[in-house]
A and B are shown apart, each in its own frame.
Chain A
């Protein structure tokens, strides 16, 4: 399949280029290949020095097409400068194109499969170069040009010439493996094979980890397509954790900044520890493309909150509009279930109508963590046509079983219409840019880990706690194929559902390495039950000692997550830390003893909670106190479990203690038994609804739950409760139905 990468086509809005783009889409249909708009840049910083369309394909070879976006009235004697009908002097597109051609050739020379060193000649057929004049006739060009370097195509010949250029020659093709080499040379992901260490046979956990780290991140087809395009309006990107959302947003930010250095760009995120990562992605890509540093005054990477010590969007706006910057420690915010929503809500109230649009493009990472007031603020801060691009984790919390529609996010206008209706995300922008993009491939989590996380998260094998995704499309967006029921888009009560996680969506390298070396990827997840919490902790210590001392795993690759964050957690962390210390294994407890942003410090095992672990990943993850997940009437612990398991890039050792842990074991065994499928019976919608209400409630359910337990335990309170229910007809009916 041909891939079309529109880059900044939609923002440039050159009418003739748009027309030609559509023509190319109709003509170039055969075989594998990529068509880019001013992509690849091959490290050329100035977009004016890159021809309009660069095509590489197995059927058509390498073709460079440059569209002259002006009517040309004169060319000087040397041919270096051309004059446009508006009397502007431009540098010859003929020369620009030829220089680009030379850069392509020199890139291809880097690989011996493409270049014959003896004959000093490219092995692949010639690269073809054309200049297209959509505003000039043949006669006009003939009267002003002399001795062009490349072939000129004029207005009246465009269609016939394109047909000729892209006529399929049955004898001709570039082999797909050579095409892959060309791709990696163009995208600079090329690694010379000679430099690679010899492949040895991996044995210890650490061998596998190290081998998996050797692979560099290469954009897959889907990621490349979404990263290399800037929509001319709002765009939503959806994908699970580890599908590359942050990389994609970072590349987009760099891409806009490169071509539109005057644009004001904002990149906001929620997890403090992500700052360095985002900055590094942006810098890497930007420097690679332009050989210079980004201009940070036009490209702001900001935490959503911020404070005196770290810049943040809320802090900056407060300073600008003279409102009060808020801090986490305020009692009122501490008591709020969603402090971030509160501060933006107050900010909107205090500044409403006064916020001025200052940003040309806004990128929002971790959008699932943000609530409406923040989106609404962003809406007012963004200039038309509201190029707001938000990346949304499809399933970071059970609250997000249904995608939050943009109607509900960006606020309403004075007629009570949504500022950004969901309908604005339907279809495509010019250049074929999807307004709503789904990333189904997961790089971080092995398939078995992801299925354990999903299966337990949704309680699929627990009849009393199941909260499944309700429709086929939403399952597919998360990388599952619905085998049963056939032909239904929305499931019904008692439907037998079979959903399969396809292997092709799992791009985890460790998983592949294990299978290649004759091991089973199922070994990546284990679940162990213990009689007591102490036994459980001791076993974790023993296992960590084993991993570090015998499997040579570096301590920083190990993250230990406590699902129970109640009042025992402090003692449990201290116990683990002390017991490891006795073995001269050092540990950190970010946010409790060390700084919250210190994660995976070299030489230290990380002990943490699900929420603090968010946004981080590790090759070895321990999860303990997992018994808290089952029989928890608020369902919230299933969400914590999901967050914890999705931190794992490799091995995930889960454990629990007490009788309840046996219930969880049943659920996990069912998932493993049916792997790679889920098989479950669809529950009543009213049950799902009630559970979702509990999950999404902003109230302190934990305290109320304890109170209710007290009532149920006391015979007199119970009697009173029964009387109460008997007298309330509505509640009585509801109980009967249960």
Chain B
């Protein structure tokens, strides 16, 4: 069995676009060079410590192969040395970074001149936490109000000690359902020696890598993501005969890696 050649990768991406069409808002993949598939204005390795910021930069700069409904991103990057020898692969999924407990899509009505408002507010909340950490007084008026009420009460009941740190964290928990989602990616690098050639990375933490014994095909990767983000509706989304046929076909395109060692897990920051 051999790895997919560059044309076969393009065909798979074409197929993804066709099969999952109703889930894709924008398809953006492109053969950018004779032996390279990426997208226009491809920039390698944009990473930020704060996932939301990393996500935002990727979204705004169109650093994706597919933009899905709900603004989730999928990246496919392939670099070949020649027709058949694959050099580098990156397949990644970037979910929308946060989820609020309340439905806040109405925000648009209030201010129309800024970018993603959910994320801006999230940054402000983070900023509040950091400010508190470094001893800067709280600026959040809501919190200040609660704090002053608590102070009044505590003068009567000495057992209540207002703790601003707890309050901020509680406000965070109350407001956000998810705040620390992150990307998942599969990396393949033919020449690498310091770690396994093909591995799965979860989160932006560079230092945790799990080895893979296979390079899965783009179609399988895409389907894996869709199957999981639409866990409930997935079974009714497609004609199962068609999708099964495509998946069988794609499985054959997956490429077995020799010299696999399952103990090859890297957590170098420990």
Interface residues of A (CB under 8 A from B): 270-272, 324, 327-332, 334-335, 337, 339, 565-567, 569-570, 574, 577-578, 581-582, 586-587, 591-596, 598, 609, 611-612, 614, 702
Contacts and interface: CB of A to CB of B under 8 A. Distances in A.
Interface in B18-61: 21-22, 24-27, 59-60
B114 A593 contact: no
28 contacts: A271-B113, A327-B120, A328-B117, A328-B120, A329-B120, A329-B123, A331-B140, A332-B141, A332-B142, A334-B121, A565-B108, A565-B109, A566-B106, A569-B108, A570-B105, A578-B21, A581-B26, A586-B26, A591-B114, A591-B115, A591-B116, A593-B59, A593-B71, A594-B60, A596-B113, A609-B108, A609-B112, A702-B109
Contact of A327 (B22, B62, B124): B124
Contacts of A614: 112
A594 B111 CA distance: 16
A253 to B, nearest CB: 23
A271 B114 CA distance: 10
Question: Interface size class for chain B?
Answer: 20 to 34
Given A328-B120, A596-B113, 11 more contacts: A330-B124, A331-B142, A334-B110, A337-B110, A565-B108, A570-B105, A578-B26, A582-B21, A591-B112, A591-B114, A611-B113
Given A594-B60, A595-B115, A611-B112, A577 B25 contact: yes
A567 B105 contact: yes
A329 B124 contact: yes
Interface of B: 21-22, 24-27, 59-60, 62, 67, 69, 71, 105-117, 120-121, 123-124, 139-142
B53 to A, nearest CB: 13
A345 to B, nearest CB: 15
Contacts of A270: 113
The CB with the most chain B CB atoms within 10 A, among A327, A567, A581, is that of A581
A538 to B, nearest CB: 15
B24 A581 contact: yes
Nearest to A614: B112
A324 B21 contact: no
A332 B111 CA distance: 13
Contacts of A594: 59-60, 62
Contacts of B110: 334-335, 337, 339
A726 B24 CA distance: 57
Nearest to B103: A567
Contact of A596 (B25, B59, B115): B115
Contacts of A566: 106
Contacts of B71: 593
B67 A272 contact: no
A272 B112 CA distance: 11
A593 B116 CA distance: 8
A332 B121 CA distance: 11
A611 to B, nearest CB: 4
A614 B71 CA distance: 25
A329 B140 CA distance: 11
Nearest to A582: B21
B60 A578 contact: no
A612 B112 contact: yes
Contacts of A609: 108, 112
Contacts of A272: 113
Contacts of B108: 565, 569, 609
Nearest to A327: B124
A416 B97 CA distance: 52
A191 B173 CA distance: 65
A346 to B, nearest CB: 11
Nearest to A610: B112
Contact of B26 (A324, A332, A577): A577
B144 to A, nearest CB: 11
Nearest to A569: B108
Contacts of B121: 329, 331, 334
Contacts of A593: 25, 59-60, 67, 71
Contacts of A702: 109
A713 B116 CA distance: 37
The CB with the most chain A CB atoms within 10 A, among B60, B71, B112, is that of B112
The CB with the most chain B CB atoms within 10 A, among A337, A574, A611, A702, is that of A574
Contact of B106 (A332, A567, A611): A567
Contacts of B106: 566-567
Contacts of B21: 578, 582
A726 to B, nearest CB: 36
Contacts of B114: 328, 591, 596
A592 B59 CA distance: 10
A463 B121 CA distance: 44
A262 B83 CA distance: 66
Contacts of B107: 334
Given A334-B121, A577-B25, A328 B140 contact: no
Contacts of B62: 594
Contacts of A596: 113-115
Contacts of A330: 124, 140-141
A591 B109 CA distance: 13
The CB with the most chain A CB atoms within 10 A, among B111, B141, B142, is that of B111
Contacts of A324: 139
A612 B25 CA distance: 21
Contacts of A582: 21
B22 A578 contact: yes
B98 to A, nearest CB: 13
B161 to A, nearest CB: 25
A327 B120 CA distance: 9
B25 A574 contact: yes
Nearest 5 pairs between A and B by C-beta?
A611-B112, A329-B124, A329-B120, A329-B121, A577-B25
Contacts of B25: 574, 577-578, 581, 593
Nearest to B60: A595
B111 A328 contact: yes
A334 B111 contact: yes
Nearest to A700: B109
Contacts of B69: 574
Nearest to B71: A593
Contacts of A569: 108
Nearest to A333: B111
Contacts of A611: 112-113
A581 B26 CA distance: 6
B24 A329 contact: no
B46 to A, nearest CB: 15
B108 to A, nearest CB: 5
A611 B117 CA distance: 15
